[in-house]
């Protein structure tokens, strides 16, 4: 599901994700290497035209992983060792973005955000979200998960002794 559809299906979780994306514009990607092992890589993340977009250098290893196997995990960059800012995890598959208009608007977004524009060729992928989760520790602790079948669920936080209210 595209970002706009995810936002409509799970607005609280999407808002938490957007808040985290805006803080650093970075995420950590989990892709699958050719040999089946995991690859973890940083990547800039932007929402453009209702799509969550991941741009990558041409022929980078993580891009080649995704061309071969589109499954991906996206984790917001966590810089607080206590976890009080919270982090979002998104799971799904990517689609190669070939639409020239969307690629242009992605370039415009980067230009406005970091005063840099990618030059062709480069890889641009849109994330189709299948599952998502959020966890925050400390005083404002919270644990959520979402998938299309069950919708948004508040789940037991590891620091809680009892189940959360329905």
Domain locations along the chain? 3-154
Tell me the C-alpha to C-alpha distance, in Å, between residue 142 and each of 8, 79, 84, 157.
Answer: 20, 18, 10, 6
Q: Are 98 and 75 in contact (CB under 8 A)?
A: no
Residue 164 — pLDDT band, cuts 50, 70, 90? low
Confidence (pLDDT) at 163: 64
Q: Predicted confidence band at 78 (pLDDT cuts at 50, 70, 90)?
A: confident
CATH H superfamily, domain 3-154: Electron Transport, Fmn-binding Protein; Chain A (2.30.110.10)
Query: What integer pLDDT is reported at residue 166 of this predicted model?
Result: 55
**pLDDT reading at 39 higher than 60:** yes
Contact present, 123 and 57 (Cβ < 8 Å): yes
- The stretch 1-9 carries a mean pLDDT of 98
* C-alpha angle 114-39-110 in degrees, rounded to nearest 5: 15
Other C-beta atoms closer than 10 Å to the C-beta of 2 total 17
- Do the beta carbons of residue 124 and residue 96 sit within 8 Å? yes
The reply to whether the predicted model has a pTM over 0.75 is yes
């Amino acid at each position: 599901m595209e970002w706009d559809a995810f936002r409509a299906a799970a607005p609280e979780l999407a808002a938490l994700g957007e808040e985290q994306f805006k803080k650093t514009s970075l995420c950590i990607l989990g892709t699958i290497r050719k040999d089946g092992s995991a690859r973890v890589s940083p990547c800039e993340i932007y929402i453009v035209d209702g799509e969550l977009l991941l741009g990558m250098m041409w022929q980078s290893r993580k891009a080649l992983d995704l061309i071969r196997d589109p499954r991906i995990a996206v984790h917001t960059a966590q810089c607080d060792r206590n976890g009080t800012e919270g982090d979002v995890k998104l799971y799904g598959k990517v689609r190669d973005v070939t639409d020239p208009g969307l690629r242009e608007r992605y370039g415009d977004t980067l230009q406005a955000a970091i005063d840099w524009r990618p030059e062709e060729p480069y890889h641009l992928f849109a994330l189709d979200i299948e599952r998502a989760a959020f966890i925050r520790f400390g005083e404002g602790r919270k644990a959520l998960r979402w998938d299309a079948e069950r919708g948004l669920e508040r789940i037991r936080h590891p620091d809680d002794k009892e189940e959360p209210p329905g």
